[in-house]
């Protein structure tokens, strides 16, 4: 993976991805480009081998999953998935899936409801200590989650919210909020200020301008932000571990209880993993274009 | 901008700020208050001033946790930046297949960390896992990857690299795209080779981006918890008991010494603030704070 073997060109290329150097041409490839291609293949194998293995194990029978050396030729089965979509001794899978999705969607809605106006406030107005206020919001994002679990546990106990989805929604919304404010601010800044000014001169209130002028233009941004935010919630573990019991348990927490059993049924562990992956992969596909902006904002950790 | 009302922004940013204060500032203050008590649930609470801090700062295990957490964060983030820079160079071309590869390499970082850890736990499994099987084909003896003190760190390290190197790749690729093309053109005219262009042009021009990527990874790596929880639970012994897991185990996971856990939480916060402050000072413009 020597960087020297890479294609030297770092400049943006003309539209249509026309190649400029020998290494880019379909035919007559440069030697270094071949090495680079081999490197890319190696990276992809390294990336997808674990995922492939997980998927393969998830469609094995319990017996095949325990076979060693591993079987490559076997009769695939959806047994493990069937178990994960129904209730069984000690596990209430349908509830866990519902919890994870409900918390992801609802906390996202709450964080958008609070974060969109805030992002608008930060882009539209100039005021004193703006940088400080933004810094304050952003710094929440960087706090190690584990340091909040002890006080949050007592807070939720005081509010009779231990082991409820409400507790997770309230906490996750706060965790997503800094990210929503930061990323939406970028999207709002791309909306021409004249449009807002024109609306306000015509007598619209700021809130109306946000709702009817800015938001429609920034809709793709809102969608991307919402997807990022749901990803955060879907993947969160330590807070859910401490704040939930059986009732509000989310998928990551339920998944860890599978590996805490005396015998680990790898077919079911793998199937849980694959099912949990589906929404994240879908989101990854949809937000690719906005990934860089999201990453810097701490969309994914 | 428009002096119609005194502070029009308040109505917009007020609710978000208020909510954040409620859900984060309050817990922090409560943690500070808790940290002054000896409170080992279910026993009653005693005010012991800074006693918990003294206990933590005199506990070799606490310092060990601090050391390995720092070591972990620095080692993983540096390795990911170096590896990510290399992979980004491979992917910095324009062809349909390279574009496809670019959207495929991002997959690991969107996966649920708990799921990633479980997946790797199966790969490392001493009796069933593909790793020992593959090594067996090459005639290498099987190992207990994550329960053997000799291999537990490399095993954890590899998982982190697998999941988070793509993060650096994406950031570096966007940084490469923003580099000025004219310097490369004049370098081409001067007949510079690709190796010298990388060291003389790309690396210096990219260094601000690399620094930000490094700091972002550093801040996140300090928080490591999920992988430890799934694979080692701090073990073997307390070898991999990083700070997050140590606080969890002492505070809520096993011992229920909530006052003690609270005091260590605040110490952790101080530790974690250092790279965040550096990050914000360095990346003020990119973060929209200037």
B34 domain-assigned? no
Say which residue, A207 or B246, is predicted with more confidence. Answer: B246
Q: Is residue A29 domain-shared with residue A176, that is, in the same domain?
A: no
A24 reaches B (C-beta below 8 A):
yes
In a domain, A265, yes or no: yes
Same domain, A33 and A103: no
Do A91 and A44 share a structural domain?
Answer: no
Cα separation, A36 vs A31, whole angstroms: 9
Greater model confidence, A230 or A1: A230
B37 shares contact with chain A (CB less than 8 Å):
no
Q: Which of A1-5, A72-76, A246-250, B222-226 has the lowest mean pLDDT?
A: A1-5
Q: Does A15 touch chain B (CB under 8 A)?
A: no
Residue B28 lies in a domain: no
Is the pLDDT score of A100 beyond 80? yes
A197 and A160 share a domain? yes
How many independent structural domains does chain A possess? 2
- Count how many domains chain B has: 1
CATH for A265: 1.10.3720.10
Backbone phi, psi, residue B195, to 5°: -65, -45
Residues of chain B in contact with residue A125, where contact means CB-CB under 8 angstroms, are 1, 8-9, 12
Chain B contact for A99 (CB, 8 A cutoff): no
Alpha-carbon distances of B169 from B197, B211, B213, rounded to whole Å = 19, 13, 9
Structural domain span for residue B272: 47-282
Mark yes or no for CB contact B12/A121 under 8 Å. yes
Query: Which residues 152-181 of A are in CB contact (within 8 Å) with B?
Result: 152-155, 170-171, 173-174, 177-178, 181
- Domain end call among A40, A58, A76: A58
Phi, psi at residue B224, to the nearest 5°?
-45, 125
Residue B113 near chain A (CB below 8 Å): yes
CA angle, A135 as apex, B75 and B70 as ends, to 5°? 15
Q: Are B56 and B65 in contact (CB under 8 A)?
A: no
Instruction: Tell me, yes or no, whether A123 and A223 share the same domain.
Output: yes
**Residue A292 reports pLDDT greater than 60:** yes
Assess whether pLDDT exceeds 80 at residue A17. no
Specify if B17 maps to a domain.
no
Q: Are residues A99 and A232 in the same domain?
A: yes
As a whole number, mean pLDDT of residues A168-185 equals 92
Is A46 among the domain residues? yes
Asked if residue B228 is part of any domain, the answer here is: yes
Report the distance separating Cα B41 and Cα B190, nearest Å.
72
State phi, psi for A181 to the nearest 5 degrees.
-60, -45
In a domain, A63, yes or no: no
B176 in a structural domain: yes
Whether A57 contacts chain B with CB within 8 A:
yes
> Could you tell me if A98 lies within 8 Å of chain B, comparing CB atoms?
no
Structure tokens that stand for B93 in this block = 């071309």
Which chain B residue's Cα is nearest to A13?
B94
Please report whether residue A79 resides in a domain.
no
The alpha carbon of residue A100 is apart from the nearest alpha carbon of chain B, in Å, by: 12
Provide, as residue numbers in chain B, all residues whose Cβ is less than 8 Å from the Cβ of A301: 220, 223
Residue A103 placed within a domain: yes
Helix axes B51-58, B60-91, angle to 10 degrees: 70
CATH number of the domain within which B205 lies: 1.10.3720.10
Compute the distance between CA of residue B130 and CA of residue B124 in angstroms, rounded to an integer.
7
Contact B110 A231 (CB under 8 A): yes
Q: Is residue A75 part of a domain?
A: no
Residue range of the domain that includes A50: 3-58
**Nearest-CA distance B47 → chain A (Å):** 17
Residue A201 covered by a domain: yes
Q: Using the 8-state DSSP alphabet, how is residue B40 labeled?
A: B
Centroid of chain to Cα A175: 13
Same domain membership, residue A281 and residue A178: yes
Instruction: Confirm if B87 and B169 have CB atoms less than 8 A apart.
Output: yes
Higher pLDDT, B230 or A31: B230
Q: Are residues A109 and A42 in the same domain?
A: no
A216 and A110, same domain (yes or no): yes
B29 vs B42 pLDDT, higher one? B29
Q: Is residue B41 part of a domain?
A: no
Asked if residue A178 and residue A132 are part of one domain, the reply reads: yes
Only one residue has tokens 């620095």, namely B74
Chain B contact for A187 (CB, 8 A cutoff): no
With both helix axes pointing from N to C terminus, report the angle between A31-58 and A266-287 in degrees, rounded to the nearest 10.
130
Q: Is residue A277 part of a domain?
A: yes
Residue A126 has pLDDT above 90, yes or no: no
- The verdict on A185 and A143 lying in the same domain is yes
Q: Report residue B214 as tokens.
A: 């490094």
Verify that A96 and A243 share a domain, yes or no: yes
Percent of chain B with pLDDT over 70: 96
- Is residue B35 assigned to a domain? no
Confidence bin at A9 (pLDDT 50/70/90): very low
Whether B19 is covered by a domain: the verdict is: no
């Amino acid at each position: 993976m020597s960087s020297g073997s890479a294609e030297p060109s770092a400049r943006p290329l003309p539209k249509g991805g026309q190649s400029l150097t020998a290494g880019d041409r379909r035919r007559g490839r440069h030697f270094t480009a071949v090495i680079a291609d081999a490197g890319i293949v190696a990276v992809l194998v390294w990336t997808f081998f674990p995922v492939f293995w997980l998927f393969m194990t998830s469609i094995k029978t319990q017996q095949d999953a325990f076979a060693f050396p591993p079987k490559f030729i076997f009769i695939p089965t959806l047994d493990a998935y069937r178990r994960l979509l129904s209730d069984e001794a000690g596990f209430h899978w349908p509830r866990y899936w519902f919890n994870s999705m409900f918390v992801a969607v609802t906390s996202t809605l709450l964080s958008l409801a609070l974060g969109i106006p805030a992002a608008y406030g930060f882009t539209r107005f100039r005021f004193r200590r703006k940088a400080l206020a933004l810094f304050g919001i952003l710094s929440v994002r960087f706090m190690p989650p584990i340091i909040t679990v002890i006080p949050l546990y007592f807070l939720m106990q005081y509010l009779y919210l231990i082991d409820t989805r409400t507790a997770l929604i309230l906490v996750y919304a706060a965790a997503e909020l800094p990210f929503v404010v930061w990323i939406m601010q970028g999207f709002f800044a791309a909306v021409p200020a004249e449009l807002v000014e024109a609306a306000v001169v015509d007598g619209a209130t700021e809130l109306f301008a946000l709702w009817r002028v800015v938001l429609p233009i920034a809709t793709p941004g809102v969608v991307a932000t919402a997807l990022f935010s749901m990803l955060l919630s879907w993947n969160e573990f330590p807070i859910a571990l401490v704040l939930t019991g059986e009732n509000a348990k989310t998928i990551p927490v339920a998944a860890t209880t599978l590996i805490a059993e005396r015998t680990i049924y790898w077919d079911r562990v793998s199937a849980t993993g694959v099912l949990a992956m589906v929404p994240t992969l879908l989101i990854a596909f949809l937000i690719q274009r906005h990934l860089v902006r999201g990453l810097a904002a701490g969309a994914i950790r | 901008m428009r002096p119609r009302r005194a502070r029009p922004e308040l109505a917009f940013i007020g609710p978000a700020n208020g909510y954040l204060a409620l859900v984060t500032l309050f817990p922090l203050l409560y943690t500070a208050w808790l940290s002054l008590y000896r409170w080992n649930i279910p026993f009653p609470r005693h005010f012991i001033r800074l006693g918990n801090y003294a206990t933590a700062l005199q506990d070799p295990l606490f310092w060990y946790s601090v050391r390995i957490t720092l070591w972990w964060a620095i080692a993983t983030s540096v390795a990911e930046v170096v590896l990510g820079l290399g992979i980004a160079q491979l992917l910095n071309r324009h062809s349909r297949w390279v574009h496809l590869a670019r959207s495929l390499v991002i997959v690991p970082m969107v996966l649920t960390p708990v799921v990633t850890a479980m997946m790797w736990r199966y790969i490392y499994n001493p009796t069933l896992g593909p790793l020992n099987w593959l090594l067996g084909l090459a005639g290498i003896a099987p190992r207990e990857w994550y329960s053997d003190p000799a291999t537990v760190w490399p095993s954890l390290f590899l998982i982190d690299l697998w999941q988070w190197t793509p993060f650096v790749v994406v950031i570096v690729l966007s940084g490469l795209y923003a580099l000025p093309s004219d310097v490369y053109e004049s370098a081409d005219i001067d007949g510079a080779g690709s190796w010298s262009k990388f060291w003389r042009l790309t690396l210096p021009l990219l260094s601000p981006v690399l620094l930000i990527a490094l700091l972002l990874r550093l801040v996140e790596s300090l928080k490591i918890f999920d992988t430890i929880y799934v694979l080692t639970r701090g073990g073997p012994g307390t070898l991999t008991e990083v700070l997050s897991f140590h606080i969890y185990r002492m505070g809520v996971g096993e011992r229920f010494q909530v006052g003690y856990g609270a005091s260590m939480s605040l110490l952790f916060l101080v530790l974690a603030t250092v790279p965040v402050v550096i990050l914000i000072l360095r990346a003020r413009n990119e973060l929209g704070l200037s």
